[in-house]
Structure 1
Amino acid sequence: MKICYHKVLFALAAYLCALNFVFFAAVLDGLKKAEDPVLLGFTIFAGVFFILLSTLYVFAPPRLIKITGSFFIAVSAFSAYFMYNYGALLNQDMMITVLETDNKEAFSYLNFKLILWTLFLVILPIGLLIALKIEYKKGIKIAFLRGFCGFVLSLGFAGVLVLLNSQSVIPFFRNNSNLKKLHLPYYPIISFARAVNSKLSPPKPLEMIAADATRASNDASKPKLLVFVLGETARAASYSALGYSKNDTNAYTKPFVAANKAAYFEALSCGTLTAVSVPCMFSHQPRVAYDDDINAQNAIDFLASTGVDVSWYGNNNGGCKGVCNRVPWLYFGKEFDDILITALKNQLSNYENQPKDAIIVLHVLGSHGPTYYQRYPNEMKKFTPTCDTSDLAKCSSDEIINTYDNTILYTDYLISEFIAELEKNESFEGSLIYISDHGESLGENGIYLHGLPYAIAPDEQTHVPLMFYSKNADLMSRIKKGVSFSQDNIFHTLLGHFGISSKYYDKNLDMFER
């Protein structure tokens, strides 16, 4: 039995509408303040259906309906999964992160719910669509004419509905501008296309802005060594050193703070994704003016060009996002971050015969989710009960928080071990800076993970921990008090720490310049 092509299009449009349940849930929330919510709601629902139908008439003509329809189903269903379960917003930055994700990180999202979701909402409907015997009208001209008429009528119905209620529809979408970012399958497809274009576009020539940089001679009795620990997905809201009370997540570094050798601060991140925050914090540009299209030397380049010995060790599967491209770097890809303790020890041994001003960057995997339980060894499972799955919906809030807090405690342990290496090393004036790239949502207001646009991101995603340790008591006393820090401070603090002068250096953003 054959089914009419137009009936299949109607059914496919209806199914794509159903997969827009996150969008419609947001619409219903916005309708609570509308004067005539029933009429407005009907207009939006019907308008979305006819817009989807008109899209199918254009991109799913008779001989392509099974291919295009399958593509739209897959994109919409998988997008809906991550939007619903993690509160993800699939914008261009998120899609760039997807393109840069390796197999290890991708498989961390695999769980039984995703398997069932894929089976029933992707494979089953696509299989049904492919199995259908669709009746097509013979003749290209007739098929084209009917398709064109279907497109015009569908778009016309949508237009008429909006025009008849324009006094309500237009203000509604203006007041709820983020709704367009929830609409499937359009927004993720557009975002992905922009991300691919960004990745494929040839990079602009490197701007050699460090050409004017000069470094003052180090008159101290010992050369300076700075260990810069770049965190991953650590939020300030979960740091006991910053007032968090549920679990003591900073038990290992607490003695150094008590001895006035270390201090914790809360800082604002440059973004809510590693791909944004990491290059931004090492850039001379402040967050409000940061433009990732500008290919300029960063703080690491400034240090290296002025004779500071630079080395970068990463265990973060997202890489250094281009920051370390022009200096010696090594990526480990191990399960736990304790490999970086060994890396630090080995690098320090390389300096035994000839100590010199140096910076060692240690980029940790940290608290990257949703598989928080895989980020720490079993002996660090201090806070229980835990959430030992990537399907966070299966876990209670307490279990998710405990598991995440274990990752923070493990990172705290690592930092204490890094400090211990600096404490016993007599060849250098050793210091350490720790800062996370961005924070994390753990279910607050139904939001999980990170990556929301900065303008609407909650504090949990934009407020990160910042720690400083030094063997130099005078340096510890110079750290600014009573001011707000952000990742904008990093570029200037790194230059200032090693005595580098440049027109790009701003002492007002140096954490140690009063």
Structure 2
Amino acid sequence: MKPARPTLGSVPLVALVCAYLLFVTNGAFWRKGLAYFDGHELQLAGLGLGLYLLMLAILTTLSVKYLVKPVLVALILLSAAASHFVDSYGLLIDREMIANVMLTSRAEAGQLMTPGLALHMVLFGLLPALAVAAVRVRHRGALAKFRQNSLVVFPSLAVALALVLAFYPGFSSTFRTHRDLIDSLNPSAPLVAAGRYAAQRLQERNFVVAPLGLDAAPRRAAEGRRPLLTVLVVGETARGANFGLNGYGRDTTPELAARGAISFTQVSSCGTSTAVSVPCMFSNLTRAGYSSKAARSSQGLLDVLSHAGQDVRWIDNDSGAYHVADRVPYVFLPDTPDPRRCADGECHDEILIDRLKAELAGVTRDTVIVLHQIGSHGPAYHARYPNAFERFSPACRTAEFADCSRQAIVDAYDNTILYTDHVLASAIDLLSARPDLDTALLYVSDHGESLGENGLYLHAMPYFMAPQEQTRVPMIAWLSNGMAAATGLDAACLAGRRDAPLSHDNLFHTMLGLGDVSTGVYDRGLDAFAPCRAAPGAAPAKLAKAGP
């Protein structure tokens, strides 16, 4: 004999699920609430009651036959998943975070499928969802259902409104000061973020890409000079504070130091995620004027360089070019994995050096090659470098941060920087070996990373509240003596400006200056190297160990 299934009316079931969602899957929200409303606990209680009644009103409206259980089950699973990442890493789920999720590779997604996530989903997602699915819901006739729901919905909304009015001064000041509070609320935060992301994608479906810099041309004729070759390396999740060249307590950049690379220490990112920073830094927009739509609606840096007659190509070992390389040759290296460098759908960044060596053989004119690293992308830092580069130990060897000490997490991250140092130095060595070219390398990361400071991990916090660890990024330059002479750059001057305040706003114009490109869209005031540029062909101070 089968056990009798429990029977509940739709409203009691909704009321129970609302209580579960609000009070069980919102640990981060309540922790922040207790801190932000310290000394005003009555306001926090009013906020909690108001949110419960609002959720009750909305879900009661949806509590119709054949719909109520699927909706409740979906919300339970969504809230369980969101609460794991919010509680484990201190993340906020906003539109940019949804964009990151949608653009995450299969390999990266697999690294997030940890035992901790599985256990959390079973306890807080699957079991409660199965309990809801097992309930036999008692539904009334249409008219009776309408009356019953109305007796719940309208009084709930009225009381919620009364609470807002009663505590409005406290609510408004707290929400203005702490915008992250409501952004931590499950399941509304991920639902709103997903809706905003979908709206953005729909907005971007119908637009025309406006030309940019059609007047671009080389400042000097190609005849009688060596071709210029610039390698632009886009780093991933590297934060400037952990670079030895920037004064970090560990020597994480010995090879770059040996090659006389110049590191700029005060560089701010445009965003805290790749999906924001990469389109922004390759556009001619400043961070203040940036929007995804504006960037997508215009050509960018690589197009302007192409208009100037330069050979431009993008070599990717990360998650894609985010439309900035739509009109130039593009290669995604994990599509053709090298077993020496690759495993489980991902490749170590030395595969970029292998490809760069092959690309250099065909350079005959002014060229820009963009290398996009997987760099220090977390949380599986240990997967970003070969075992030979595990100098700092004991390094965390899992993506489950709860299983590692904070120091072990930092050790693993520092090993990724040590490996990036080797990759960049290897690229410099290839450029130094080409005396027939005037060569340069410029490295800049897309955003930084939190490593447990204030309980935060990873990145993608909203910029207004992001810690400096997520927005202060490394920028490193190396130029051959021939490139310095050809473009009039004074190496000693550049080294003297290493602490100048810079940002991703400068990349577009710095690259045009470095490429010796003349165009009306170039802004000398935003060229980070312009203060150190003499007349082309002058004899600047030589770069130490810079090569031909």
TM-score by length of 2: 0.88
Does structure 1 retain, via aligned residues, the 8 Å contact 2:448–2:469? yes
| Residue 229 in structure 1 maps to residue 246 in structure 2 | no
Which string of whole-angstrom CA distances, capped at 9 and with x for unpartnered residues, describes residues 83-134 of structure 1? 1111111111111111112211111111111000111111111111001112
2:310 is aligned with 1:308: yes
Aligned partners of 2:63 and 2:348: how far apart in 1?
A: 47
The amino acid of 1:329's aligned partner reads Y
1:244 equivalent in structure 2: 248
The 3 A distance-change label for structure 1 pair 163 and 263 is closer
| CA distance, structure 1, for counterparts of residue 265 and residue 167 of structure 2 | 51
Is the Cα contact below 8 Å between 2:432 and 2:480 reproduced in 1?
yes
Query: 469-478 or 266-275: which moved more?
Result: 469-478
Partner of 1:6: 11
Letter in 1 for 2:285: Q
- Taking the TM superposition and a 5 Å limit, the aligned residue runs for 1:115-264 are 115-137=118-140, 139-201=141-203, 202-218=205-221, 221-245=225-249, 247-257=250-260, 262-264=262-264
Instruction: Tell me how far 1:397 sits from its aligned partner.
Output: 1.2
- 1:366 shift after superposition: 0.2
- Shift in Å at residue 184 of structure 1? 1.6
Q: Which residue of 2 aligns with 1:393?
A: 402
* Counterpart in the other structure of 1:280: 280
Q: TM-score, normalised by structure 1?
A: 0.94
Contact kept? 2:445, 2:473, Cα under 8 Å: yes
Using the TM superposition, give the Cα deviation of residue 484 of structure 1 relative to its aligned residue in structure 2, in angstroms: 1.2
Query: What does residue 82 of structure 1 align with?
Result: 85
Any idea what the Cα deviations from partners look like across 1:386-445, whole Å, max 9, x if unmatched?
A: 111111122111100000000010011000100010111122011100000000001100
Stretch deviating more after TM superposition (337-346 or 47-56): 47-56
Cα deviation, 1:329-375, whole Å, max 9, x if unaligned, reads 10012421111111011001123xxx211111111100000000100
- Partners of 1:151 and 1:61 in 2: CA distance: 14
Aligned residue in 2 for 1:59: 62
Give yes or no for the alignment of 1:326 onto 2:327. yes
What's the secondary structure of 1:267's corresponding residue?
Answer: strand
Contact 2:215 2:307 in 1 (8 A): no
1:209–1:296 CA contact under 8 A, matched in 2: yes
Indicate how the Cα distance of structure 1 residues 304 and 3 shifts in structure 2: closer, same or farther if over 3 A, else same: same
d(CA) in 2 for partners of 1:452, 1:361: 27
Q: Distance in 1 between matches of 2:380 and 2:281?
A: 26
| Offset of residue 47 of structure 1 | 1.5
Superposed CA deviations along residues 138-173 of structure 1, whole A, max 9, x for unmatched, are x11111221122111222222233334444444433
- Give the fraction of aligned pairs with identical amino acids, expressed as a percent: 34
Residue 213 of structure 2 aligns to a residue in which SS?
Answer: helix
Distance change >3 Å, CA 204–CA 511, structure 1 → 2: same
Partner of 1:230, secondary structure, is strand
Structure 2 counterpart of 1:248, which letter? D
CA contact (8 A) 1:62 1:143 kept: no
Q: 1:141 to 1:335 in 2, by over 3 A?
A: same
Give the Cα separation in 1 of the matches to 2:43 and 2:226. Answer: 72
Q: Separation in 1 of the partners of 2:418 and 2:314? A: 23
Pairing 1:349–2:354 present: no
Separation of aligned partners in 1, 2:445 and 2:383: 19
Question: Which whole-Å CA distance do the structure 2 matches of 1:135 and 1:469 have between them?
Answer: 72
| TM superposition shift of 1:175 | 3.5
Gaps of 5+ in 2: 1-5, 335-345, 532-548
Secondary structure of 2:462's partner? coil
Structure 1 residue 496 displacement after superposition: 1.1
Compared CA separation, residues 52 and 338, structure 1 to 2 (3 A): same
Once residues 396 and 63 of structure 2 are traced to their aligned partners in structure 1, the CA distance between those partners, rounded to angstroms, is 43
Residues of 1 paired with 2:434 and 2:174: CA distance?
63
CA–CA distance in structure 2, aligned partners of residues 414 and 124 of structure 1: 47
CA contact (8 A) 2:76 2:129 kept: yes
Q: Residue 448 of structure 1: CA displacement? A: 0.6
- Alignment CA distance shift 1:431-1:38 (3 Å): closer
Report 1:358-397 matches (<5 A): 358-397=367-406
Question: What residue is the counterpart of 1:40 in the other structure?
Answer: 43
- CA change 1:477–1:224 in 2 (3 A) is farther
Return closer, same or farther for 1:38/1:263 CA change in 2, 3 Å cut-off: closer
Q: Contact 1:256/1:262 (CA < 8 Å) preserved in 2?
A: no
Deviates more, 1:173-182 or 1:466-475: 173-182
Q: 1:14, 1:49 within 8 Å by CA — same for their partners in 2?
A: yes
Match of 1:291 in 2: 291
Query: 2:317–2:333: 8 Å Cα contact kept in structure 1?
Result: yes
Which letter does structure 1 place at the counterpart of 2:505? D
The Cα offsets for residues 19-72 of structure 1, whole Å up to 9 and x where unpaired, read as 12211111100122x4xx232232122122111111211223343211110111
Distance apart, 1:264 and its partner CA: 4.2
2:415 pairs with 398, 406, 424, which one? 406
| 1:170/1:196 CA distance change after superposition, 3 Å | closer
Q: Which amino acid aligns with 2:516?
A: G
> Any idea what SS the aligned residue of 1:177 has?
coil
Q: 1:350 to 1:167 in 2, by over 3 A?
A: closer
> 2 CA distance for matches of 1:286 and 1:490?
10
